[in-house]
Every structure is written in C-alpha cells, then in structure tokens.
C-alpha cells in the first residue's frame, strides 16, 4: 500500500496540485483515512486478493475434473474447495465488489458531495469486512468447511465435522459491513445531493446503487439470524433445523434463500449500474428510457424479496407455493428485460466508440441476456425439476455473476481508472484481455449448460465418463479465463506507475465525477457544483465538452 | 444402454423435451436478435469524428410499452406450461405402484411391495407408473433420474414422493442431486426399466421373505400394535382401517390428512399428534424401528383398506403373503380380496 503514495505530481498544471493520493502519505494515512476514495481503494486491494484466492480454488476444481474419477484431490478436499470457492466469491468478492469499491469511489462525486454521509462508519465498515474475511480464512487454514456455501441443514448442523461455526462467524461479521455500507449510501443519496440534483436528474448508477443498498440493509440481518441459528443448533443442540432434534430442515432453506436470493440482486444491480454509465458515455447519448430503467432497479429490489422459493421447487415445498414463486420469478424477469432493451436502444443512432469499458459493457449485455434467459428455464416449474441442482444451474448463475458482475466490474474499473489513478492504461492490451475474458468465459460455462441438461449433478468430485468431453472443454475455457483476469491485474499495476497522465474527462462525458481533476482532490470539488441539467445531457454540456 | 437425454425414456420426457426445446428455440431467436442488433449498432453507428454529437433521442413510449408487454405475455405462457408439467409430476396416476426408497449416506435402499429389496438399483416394468415414497435416514438427499426428467429431494423424517413411468427398456442413471457429504458423488445407482415379462421373472427370483405388507403385518404383531388398534369395534387406539389418506381430527382441533409422513410420525413419535378421543398412551418407537420397517408398517396400513361393506373382516392373515407387486392387479392398496388382516388380534 505504501507504494501507492509514491505517485508523482500531475505534470499538466503549472504548479503541482495535491490530490487525494498525495495530500498525505504513509501507511497510517491509509489505515486511518476517512476519505471515501481511499477507502474505496482499500476495498479494491482486499477484494482483488479474495477474487484471485477464490478463483485459484475454481481453477483447481476444474483441473481435478479433467478426469471422470478426478485426479488431484480426495472427495473431502474437493468438497472443501467448492465450499470455500463459493463462500469467498459470494461474500468476500461479489457482494462487496462493485458497491464497496467503485460505489465508494464514485458515488459521492457523482452527486457532487465531499464524502459519504458517515465517513468514519465507512472506514469501520472496511475493518469489519477484513475481520470477517480473516475469520473465514482462519476457518480455511484450520481445515476448511465442507458444507457447500449454502450450509444446508441438517448436514451443516449435525453431520459435518468441519469448521462450520468459524466460517459462519466470519460471514456474519462481514454482513455487518454490508449493512453499514448500505446505510451509508442510503443516507448519502438522501441528504448529500448537490443543489439542483433532483432524483430524476441522478445518474442510473445512483438509482441502482440505492436499490442495492436497500437490499443490503433489509436482507442481511436475516442472514445473520440464520447463521446464528446454525451456531445455536450446533453448539447447544437446540432443535431448529435438525428434525432429529424436532426442527425442520426446509425452514433453513426458506431463511437462507430469503437472504440469498435478494443477495443475487445485491451482486447484479451494481453491475447494471456500471453498465448504465458506460453505454451512454460510449454512445454519446442519454440512456434510453431513463425512468423505465430507474424504476426497474427499484422493482428488482422489491420483487427480489418475493422469489426465494424458486430455489426449492424440488425441496418439498407445496405445489401451490411453488406455483406462486414461479409466477413471481417471471415477474422479476420483466424489469431485467426492460433494462436489456433500453441498453441496446441507447446505442441505436448513437456515436458508438468501442473502447475497453464499452467492450466489457457489451459483453455484459450479451452474457447477462444468456444468464437471464436460462433463468426463464429455471423459473418454469416443470423444467426446473430436471435441471435444478445440475450444472445447468451452475452455468446459469455464473453467467449472471461472472459473465455479468465480473465483466461489469472490470468495465467499471477501466472506465473510472483514469479518475482513480490519474493514469491511462494500455488500450490495445486492455481490449485484447477483454476479448480473452469473453471467449474464455463462454468456453468455460457454455458446456456446463449442456452438462446440466444431460443430467450431471453439481458438487460431484467424480462423474460418469460420458460427461468427460464437456468437462475438458470447460477446464480449457477456465485456463483461458484465468489468463484474461491476470493480464489486467498486471497492466493496471504497471499503468499506475508508468501510464500516461489522464485528462480530467478522458471519455468526454457528462457525469459530475468527470468535472473534478484526475485524480480528484481530497474533498472532490473545489466548489460545490450546481446542477441544472438531466443525467447524460450531452446537449446541455456540448459547449463544455466541445461537441457538435 | 446408458443413454442419456434425447430419447424418450420416461412418461414426461416427451412433453418435457418439447417444452425445453421450444424455449431453446425462442430464447436463441431473441438472443440472436439482440446480439445482431448490438453488432449492427456498434458498426453502423460507430463514431466517425471525435467531436460528433448524435441525435439525443432517448425515449419512445410505444417501444417501451411493446418491450414490456411482449415479454410479459411470453413469460406468463412459459409459467403456465411449466405449471402444467409440474402438476403432472405431483399427481401420480391412480394405478401407480408404490416403491419405498430409503436414502442414507451414501446409498439408496429400495423396497418393492412384493418384498424385494435392492441397494443402489431399482427394477421397474416398462409402461407402469411407479410412485416413489422417499425418506432419508440422515441428511437431505435428492432422487434424480435424468432420463425420466424427475428429481425430488429426500428429507429426513418426512416422506416426499414423485412418480415416473419408463417407456423404453434400458438402464438409467440414478444420481443423488443434493449435496450430502463426502461421498455425495458416489451415491449413484441404476434404474433397470424392464420388459414386463422380464420384470415378472425378476420379481419371482427376488421375493424371499413375503410381501412388504406382510412384513409390516409381522411387525404389527411383534410389537403388539393390535392390542390397542383393533380392526373391529373400539380399542384403546384408533382403528387403522382405511386410515390412509383420510382426514384425521386431532385433539388439538387441527385436521390432518393421514399420509405417509403422518403415519410414520404417529408410529415413531406417537405423542406428537393425538387423534381426538384417544389418550396419549402409545409407546414411542423412535430408535426401535428402522426406516425400512416403518415403510413396511405403512405399506401394511395402506393395504388394510376400508372395511368391506360393513362386514366383519375375515380370512387368514397368511393371505397377506400373496399381497404385493407380483401380480400387478393385486397391488391396489384397497383391493379387498387380498387386503384382509386377521380380525381383532390381541
């Protein structure tokens, strides 16, 4: 982290101007910072670490599955690998990924604020997150967990001999970080908007992040309760979920998915937020159907709470409950469809420039569409019976989580990189790795749809030989995907030190965050901006942007 | 033999495939359309000069309405068809044959009505609907036969069920689809769908100790159940004749349907639900009976059936030995000719 402070002053202005990176230096200035931009960077380092950690486990699993009987690990180790992959990726990468890094960094700037509403709470949130992460890593070092990230009972409470409680405590702690961040964002959006920045002048990024924050605050406590109940049952043998003690194992699934389905939207709404900024910028047009897109974020946040039962169509819930959840699952698909159509319509008759962030954004739209459409299969009761708990589901949610969220995250990192670091990255290499990620991703996960339809169950450490060809293809794809993720890590670090200086507004776009220097000064704006235009209003700013 | 997916092996497989591939066709058409439109826009509207400012058109109400309404209609259609297939799976045909399945870490134990027991295999006749009564001895498992497009989680202490009808003789994979611990991926069995004649031969080779219901009857006597549960008049316990699938008024005021789960619980945790008018005096059999034995008792209680025409039931109990899946027409639980227990055993 100390190296971060070695940034040379900007060369463009006559006298070196202090920015948030240079105004204070030294390790302590980072560990005790309350600057939302620095905290955003603390999160970037943390989640990047967790991403490559969890990704490494995924790679090991894919290598193991090259042979039908498996060849690298025993079954117990394999089970621990997929469990830790899931836990790390869901709670320590995907959920904090976009909101806590890019959200932290750009949200205050986008609304013309100096910082978040509660800067100290923001720093506390990072410490809590790290404490949760370290606790979970401790569970891993001690011997790992073998329950799957879903902790299904009574296996997790009465049968597993692994470090279930330690991991659950780690996740529970990290949950408080989510709640604090959500609370902070909600308060900030309500109270800190610049003069003139009414709700319908907000960029879609703010709408989507706001919707995400609502879910964070409302759903995460249910996760905490559920994990606490697991602990109580394991330690004190109180019958909650284990029927041998008088509990109900399906109750656990209801409670778990009551959090974890909304959590899916915690992961994907911020991705939609990023893409809703990139596409207008690189089409040089306002987002199509602004209100439809904004309201669809809110609709997803609300309806997302009502569909948890679609994870349980074969778990023993009543047929009528299943029918209701199926219907509501189709309803939540409508706002997603609205967004996809509006993103594509934004490009129509635009001035489209395929720079790296735009490549990622278009890749997102394509992969999210495939992920969403296969969701329609899973929402159909009769179809779900066959494909649930198979690789079809694995492929489906990786299209949303990796094809969607990770693509958008990388797109966002490239989009705001000039603002964050004050440097440009090597464009050709960046485009090349965006393409690598797209191809590697599809080769990894598309075969898994077919595997699932053929009937290969998920969480199998070994599999019948007829599934081998598709597994080998998937492993080949994973290796390509791995390269696609490592290359940006390298060139972005290189660019931080050696990249060309970035102009304040390299993409010539409209957001308030581009009206501050790159990198921004500590308090973002020299003077508080007054907003008289709508979001993405290129027409109103064409003089300033030298357009037309 | 281990043919997987595209053939039509199960009763719902055909309808399932039709729906699935119609969805594939529809979604790939729409998806290709969106991809083509993205590529068209990226190429046709590419930025031609660095300063250009395109038309700022950003709203078209008819377009918005269209792309909200069309997906909604399509989604409701998909929903309805999905429900239809699911409800077909939920309701077994009347003449389906019961098979009892006990799942445990990490094996499948199956019991036929004829008393044949198998481990990790299940032999079934082609053309006959099979209703599986599933229960787990430990954690949650899931009974998954890809070729028949069926899957049902197997829960501890609660019966779940699903049915299928094999249409093509063959050997099909049975997978555990719910993660259940270390050897989850080894919890694999085979379904042998046989020509009905071969199946009869197989049944006769396998039947050793009498039908499942007769095993249940033996247990019924061994544990002295008949001391209280009289089949005539009033005992200290409820008369079990025709109990299966009948609504039972409980002393709590609640009314429950006497399904497999209720009967099982009433045997093992007898005081959990007390039928109205009876005292909670029945011993608790938890730990004394295995899941297989409970299944046999359930099969016996189902086989008793209602009292025929108000007559006193009669006939030797040994007839129960003939009962079961050996000849298909004897397998109706209510078939009076074969389902007569010893009257009023004390």
Out of A244, A286, A458, name the one closest to residue B58 (CB).
A286
CA–CA separation, B121 and A472 (whole Å): 29
A475 CA to chain B: closest CA distance, Å? Answer: 19
* Residues A542, A510 contacting (CB under 8 angstroms): no
CA–CA separation, B276 and A117 (whole Å): 62
Q: Does residue B121 sit at the A interface (CB-CB below 8 Å)? A: no
CA–CA separation, B235 and A407 (whole Å): 71
Share of chain B above pLDDT 90, in %: 57
Mean pLDDT of A155-162: 90
Residues 61-100 of A with CB under 8 A from B: 75-76, 79
CA–CA separation, A406 and A271 (whole Å): 8
- What single-letter DSSP state applies at residue A349? T
User: What pLDDT, on the 0 to 100 scale, is given for residue B10?
Assistant: 67
Looking up tokens 């109580």 gives: A232
Q: Angle at which helices B291-304 and B212-222 pack, to 10 degrees?
A: 100
* pLDDT over threshold 70, residue A34: yes
If one counts every other C-beta atom within 10 angstroms of the C-beta of residue A32, the result is: 11
**Is residue A445 one of the residues assigned to a domain?**
yes
Burial (CB count within 10 angstroms: exposed 0-12, middle 13-18, buried 19+), residue A13? exposed
Task: Look at the alpha carbons of A530, A536, A538, A540 in this order and tell me if their dihedral is positive or negative.
Answer: negative
Asked if B185's CB is within 8 angstroms of A459's CB, the reply is: yes
Rounded to 5 degrees, φ, ψ at B164 are: -155, 165
* pLDDT over threshold 80, residue A452: yes
In CATH, what number is assigned to the domain containing residue A299? 1.20.210.10
Looking up tokens 């290709």 gives: B32
User: What pLDDT, on the 0 to 100 scale, is given for residue B271?
Assistant: 86
CA–CA separation, A308 and A13 (whole Å): 54
CA–CA separation, B211 and B77 (whole Å): 46
- Highest averaged pLDDT of the listed ranges A181-185, B209-213, B339-343: A181-185
- The angle at the Cα of B11, spanning B5 to B12, to the nearest 5 degrees, equals 70
Among A64-68, A241-245, A375-379, name the one with the lowest average pLDDT. A241-245
Q: Which residues of A389-400 are buried (b: 16+ CB within 10 A; e: fewer)?
A: bbbbbbbbbbbb
Q: Which residue has the higher pLDDT, B300 or B307?
A: B300
- What single-letter DSSP state applies at residue B130? E
Q: Does residue B144 sit at the A interface (CB-CB below 8 Å)? A: yes
A-chain residues near B88 (CB < 8 A): 382
Longest dimension (CA), chain B: 99
- The angle at the Cα of A143, spanning A255 to A459, to the nearest 5 degrees, equals 55
Residues 203-232 of A with CB under 8 A from B: none
- What single-letter DSSP state applies at residue A96? H
Token reading at B191: 């379904």
CA–CA separation, B293 and B100 (whole Å): 11
Burial (CB count within 10 angstroms: exposed 0-12, middle 13-18, buried 19+), residue B233? exposed
Go through the domains of chain B in sequence order and give each one's CATH number.
Answer: 1-40+62-208 (2.60.40.420), 212-330 (1.10.760.10)
Q: Does residue B6 sit at the A interface (CB-CB below 8 Å)? A: no
Out of B86, B138, B150, name the one closest to residue A159 (CB).
B138
Mean pLDDT of B72-84: 95
CA–CA separation, A541 and A533 (whole Å): 8
Task: Name every residue whose Cβ is closer than 8 Å to that of residue A374 and which is 6 or more positions away in sequence.
Answer: A392, A395, A396, A399, A449, B27
CA–CA separation, B318 and A307 (whole Å): 53
User: What pLDDT, on the 0 to 100 scale, is given for residue A7?
Assistant: 46
* Residues A484, A406 contacting (CB under 8 angstroms): no
Residues 309-338 of A with CB under 8 A from B: 313-316, 319, 322-323, 326-327, 330-331, 333-334, 337-338
Mean pLDDT of B142-160: 94
Q: Does residue A301 sit at the B interface (CB-CB below 8 Å)? A: no
Q: Among B217, B166, B206, B159, which Cα is nearest to B325's?
A: B206
Q: Search chain A and give the residue with CA nearest B13.
A: A386
What's the total number of domains in chain A?
1
User: What pLDDT, on the 0 to 100 scale, is given for residue B210?
Assistant: 83
* Residues A424, A418 contacting (CB under 8 angstroms): yes
Q: How confident is the model at residue B207 (pLDDT cuts 50, 70, 90)?
A: low
Q: How confident is the model at residue A4 (pLDDT cuts 50, 70, 90)?
A: very low
Among A76-90, A152-166, B35-49, B229-243, name the one with the lowest average pLDDT. B229-243
User: What pLDDT, on the 0 to 100 scale, is given for residue B209?
Assistant: 75
Residues 449-508 of A with CB under 8 A from B: 453-455, 457-464, 466
Beta strands in A404-527 (DSSP E): none
B-chain residues near A147 (CB < 8 A): 179
CA–CA separation, A117 and A191 (whole Å): 8
CA–CA separation, B296 and B114 (whole Å): 11
User: What pLDDT, on the 0 to 100 scale, is given for residue B208?
Assistant: 64
3-state secondary structure of B253: coil
* pLDDT over threshold 90, residue A173: yes
How high does pLDDT run on average in chain B?
84
Edge to edge, what strands does the sheet with B107-112 contain? B117-119, B107-112, B97-104, B129-136, B160-165
CA–CA separation, A229 and A151 (whole Å): 12
* Residues A510, A285 contacting (CB under 8 angstroms): no
* pLDDT over threshold 70, residue A245: yes
Share of chain A above pLDDT 90, in %: 91
User: What pLDDT, on the 0 to 100 scale, is given for residue A212?
Assistant: 96
Q: Does residue A548 sit at the B interface (CB-CB below 8 Å)? A: yes
Count of helices and strands (H, E) across chain B: 6, 12
Among A11-15, A504-508, B242-246, name the one with the lowest average pLDDT. A11-15
Q: How confident is the model at residue A14 (pLDDT cuts 50, 70, 90)?
A: low
Looking up tokens 């200086």 gives: A501
Q: How confident is the model at residue A45 (pLDDT cuts 50, 70, 90)?
A: very high
Token reading at B129: 């609907």
Asked if A314's CB is within 8 angstroms of B153's CB, the reply is: yes
Task: Name every residue whose Cβ is closer than 8 Å to that of residue A389 and which is 6 or more positions away in sequence.
Answer: A314, A457, A458, B142, B144, B151, B177, B178
3-state secondary structure of B98: strand
Characterise A28 by phi-psi region: left (phi > 0), alpha (psi -120 to 50), beta (else). Answer: alpha
User: What pLDDT, on the 0 to 100 scale, is given for residue B76?
Assistant: 95
Q: How confident is the model at residue B11 (pLDDT cuts 50, 70, 90)?
A: low
Best B108, B182, B191, B264 member to test A by mutation, with max A CBs in 10 Å, is: B182
Among A103-112, A303-312, B104-113, B199-208, name the one with the lowest average pLDDT. B199-208
Among A16-20, A174-178, A442-446, B253-257, name the one with the lowest average pLDDT. A16-20
Instruction: State the ipTM, two decimals.
Output: 0.91
Q: How confident is the model at residue B308 (pLDDT cuts 50, 70, 90)?
A: low
Q: Among B4, B46, B162, B180, which Cα is nearest to B106's?
A: B180
CA–CA separation, A389 and B142 (whole Å): 9
* Residues A234, A165 contacting (CB under 8 angstroms): yes
CA–CA separation, A529 and A116 (whole Å): 16
* pLDDT over threshold 80, residue B272: yes
How high does pLDDT run on average in chain A?
94
* pLDDT over threshold 70, residue A10: no
Q: Does residue B275 sit at the A interface (CB-CB below 8 Å)? A: no
* pLDDT over threshold 90, residue B233: no
User: What pLDDT, on the 0 to 100 scale, is given for residue B315?
Assistant: 33
Radius of gyration of chain B (CA): 27
* pLDDT over threshold 50, residue B343: no
The enclosing H or E element of A86 equals helix A75-87
- Expressed as residue numbers, the domain containing A467 is 38-545
**Is residue A24 one of the residues assigned to a domain?**
no
Q: Among A110, A153, A106, A69, which Cα is nearest to A467's?
A: A69
């Amino acid at each position: 982290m100390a190296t971060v402070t070695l940034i040379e002053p900007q060369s463009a202005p006559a006298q070196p101007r202090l920015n948030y990176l240079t105004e204070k230096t030294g390790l302590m200035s980072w560990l005790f910072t309350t600057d939302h931009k620095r905290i955003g960077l603390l999160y970037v380092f943390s989640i990047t670490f967790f991403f490559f950690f969890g990704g490494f486990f995924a790679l090991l699993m894919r290598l193991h599955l090259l042979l039908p009987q498996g060849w690298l690990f025993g079954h117990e180790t394999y089970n621990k690998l997929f469990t830790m992959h899931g836990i790390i990726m869901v709670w320590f990468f995907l959920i904090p990924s976009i909101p806590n890094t890019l959200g932290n960094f750009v949200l205050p700037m986008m609304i013309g604020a100096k910082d978040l509403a509660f800067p100290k709470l923001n720093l506390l949130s990072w410490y809590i997150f790290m404490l949760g992460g370290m606790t979970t890593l401790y569970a891993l070092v001690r011997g790992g967990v073998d329950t799957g990230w879903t902790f299904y009972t009574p296996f997790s409470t009465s049968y597993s001999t692994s470090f279930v409680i330690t991991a659950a405590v780690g996740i529970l702690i990290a949950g408080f970080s989510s709640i604090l961040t959500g609370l902070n964002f909600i308060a900030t959006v309500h109270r800190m908007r610049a003069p003139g920045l009414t709700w319908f002048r907000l960029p879609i990024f703010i709408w989507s992040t706001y919707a995400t924050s609502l879910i964070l605050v409302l759903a995460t406590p249910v996760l905490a309760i559920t994990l606490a109940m697991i602990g109580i049952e394991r330690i004190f043998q109180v019958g909650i979920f284990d029927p041998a003690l008088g509990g109900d194992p399906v109750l656990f699934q209801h409670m778990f998915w009551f959090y974890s389905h909304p959590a899916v939207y915690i992961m994907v709404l911020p991705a939609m937020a990023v893409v809703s900024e990139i596409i207008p910028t690189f089409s040089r047009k306002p987002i199509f159907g602004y209100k439809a897109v904004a309201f669809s974020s809110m609709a997803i946040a609300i309806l997302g709470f009502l569909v948890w039962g679609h994870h349980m169509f074969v778990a023993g819930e009543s047929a009528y409950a299943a029918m209701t959840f199926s219907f509501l699952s189709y309803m939540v698909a409508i706002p997603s469809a609205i967004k996809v159509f509006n993103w594509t319509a934004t490009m129509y008759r635009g001035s489209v420039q395929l720079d790296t962030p735009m490549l990622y954004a278009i890749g997102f739209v394509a992969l999210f569409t495939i992920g969403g459409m296969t969701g329609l299969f899973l929402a159909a009761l009769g179809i779900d019976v066959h494909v649930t708990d198979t690789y079809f589901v694995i492929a489906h949610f990786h299209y949303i989580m990796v094809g969607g969220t990770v693509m958008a995250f990388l797109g966002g990192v490239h989009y705001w990189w000039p603002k964050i670091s004050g440097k440009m990255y090597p464009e050709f290499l960046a485009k090349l790795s965006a393409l690598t990620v797209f191809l590697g991703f599809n080769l990894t996960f598309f075969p898994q749809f077919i595997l699932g339809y053929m009937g290969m169950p998920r969480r199998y450490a070994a599999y019948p030989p007829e599934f081998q060809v598709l597994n080998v293809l998937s492993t080949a794809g994973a290796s390509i995907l791995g390269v696609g993720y490592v290359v940006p890590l390298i060139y972005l670090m290189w660019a931080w030190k050696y990249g060309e200086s970035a102009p304040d507004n390299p993409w010539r776009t409209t957001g308030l965050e581009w009206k501050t220097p790159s990198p921004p000064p500590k308090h973002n704006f020299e003077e508080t901006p007054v907003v008289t235009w709508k979001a993405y209003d290129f027409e109103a700013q064409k003089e300033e942007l030298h357009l037309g | 033999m281990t043919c997987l997916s595209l053939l039509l092996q199960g009763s719902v497989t055909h309808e399932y495939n039709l729906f699935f591939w119609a969805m594939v066709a529809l979604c790939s058409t729409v998806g290709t359309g969106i991809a083509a439109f993205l590529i068209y826009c990226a190429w046709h509207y590419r930025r031609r000069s660095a300063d250009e400012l395109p038309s700022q058109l950003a709203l078209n109400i008819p377009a918005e309405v269209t792309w909200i309404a069309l997906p909604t209609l399509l989604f409701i259609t998909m929903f309805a068809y999905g429900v239809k297939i699911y409800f077909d799976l939920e309701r077994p045909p009347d003449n389906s044959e019961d098979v009892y399945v006990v799942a445990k870490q990490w094996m499948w134990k199956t019991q036929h009505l004829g008393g044949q027991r198998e481990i990790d295999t299940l032999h079934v006749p082609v053309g006959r609907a099979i209703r599986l009564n599933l229960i787990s001895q430990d954690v949650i498992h899931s009974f998954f036969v890809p070729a028949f497009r069926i899957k049902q989680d197997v829960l501890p202490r609660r019966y779940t069920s699903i049915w299928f009808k094999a249409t093509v003789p063959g050997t099909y994979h049975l997978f555990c689809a719910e993660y259940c611990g270390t050897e989850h991926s080894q919890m694999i069995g085979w379904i042998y769908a046989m020509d009905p004649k071969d199946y009869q031969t197989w049944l006769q080779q396998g039947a050793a100790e009498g039908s499942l219901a007769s095993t249940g009857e033996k247990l019924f006597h061994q544990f002295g159940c008949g001391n209280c549960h009289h089949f005539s008049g009033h005992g200290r316990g409820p008369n079990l004749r025709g109990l299966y699938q009948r609504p039972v008024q409980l002393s709590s005021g609640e009314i429950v349907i006497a399904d497999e789960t209720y009967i099982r619980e009433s045997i093992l945790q007898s005081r959990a639900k007390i039928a109205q008018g009876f005292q909670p005096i029945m011993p608790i059999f938890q730990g004394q009976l295995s899941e297989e034995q409970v299944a046999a008792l359930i099969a016996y209680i189902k086989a008793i059936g209602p009292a025929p025409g108000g007559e006193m039931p009669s006939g030797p109990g040994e007839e129960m030995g003939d009962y079961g899946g050996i000849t298909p027409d004897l397998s109706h639980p209510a078939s009076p000719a074969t389902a007569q227990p010893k009257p009023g055993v004390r």
